[in-house]
Amino acid sequence: MHIKVCNVAEEGDRRTLVEWVSVHFSNLNILINNAGVQRDIEFTKGISEFLSGENEIRINLESPIILSGLFIPHLTGKKEAAIINVSSGLGFIPAARMPVYSASKAGMHAFSMALRQQLLKSGIKVFEVVPPAVETGLNPEGRAKRGNFKVDLMPDEFVAAVMKGFKNDIFEIGYGMTAGLIKASREELDKSFQQMNSRW
């Protein structure tokens, strides 16, 4: 494994990463857009919470869009080339307590669909991975507010399911709850939204 530290929110770091890959890994054929942050933000308090922390729009949505554009010339013509975008079940059913994160992941879903269509003839596949809640270190402040919120799904179990999806060319890969969300009707999504956000 080779590691290159990169702040995907910084334009200089993104371009340095692409140049480094081009020089050292000319045969690289897969880009995984997985960097992300999640924050609880309450707009009833105004704009201060949004402005005071990491920018979810820049990290979760803008950066994957730009990185995809930067890497597409490198990926074109490579065997089994792919772009893998990680969205979220919250891109299908937004959480009121995490409005910006939810919006950024809904944007990632829309971008993945549109990019997949654009790249149909290029030989570059576009996968979207749609995780449910997975036991990770995401949003530790928000989880602590909710009593150190824990989930039963471990990363290794989820990743094993995702790898099967790649193998079978399933371009929108969910697991558990999110497998249903991908195929849900608008009525079903609205009902789930009301249930999940009932405290608001």
What is the full per-residue pLDDT of the chain (200 aa) written as tens digits?
999 999 999 999 999 999 999 999 999 999 999 999 999 999 999 999 999 989 999 999 999 999 999 999 999 999 999 999 999 999 999 999 999 999 999 999 999 999 999 999 999 999 999 998 888 877 767 767 777 567 788 999 999 999 999 999 999 999 999 999 999 999 999 999 999 998 87
**What pLDDT is stored for residue 137 in this prediction?**
73
Interhelix angle 63-75/99-118, rounded to 10 degrees, is: 20
Q: Mapped to the 3 state alphabet, what secondary structure does 30-54 carry? A: EEEECCCCCCCCCHHHCCHHHHHCC
Q: Token digits for 40?
A: 């609880």
CA distance 36 to 57: 9
Q: How many CB atoms lie within 10 A of CB 97?
A: 19
pLDDT in tens, 29-46: 999 999 999 999 999 999
Domains of the chain: 11-196 (3.40.50.720)
- Under 8 Å between Cβ of 84 and 131: no
Which residues are part of the catalytic machinery? 101
Q: What is the pTM of this model?
A: 0.91
- Under 8 Å between Cβ of 3 and 25: no
**What pLDDT is stored for residue 102 in this prediction?**
97
**What pLDDT is stored for residue 133 in this prediction?**
84
What SS3 state is found at 16?
helix
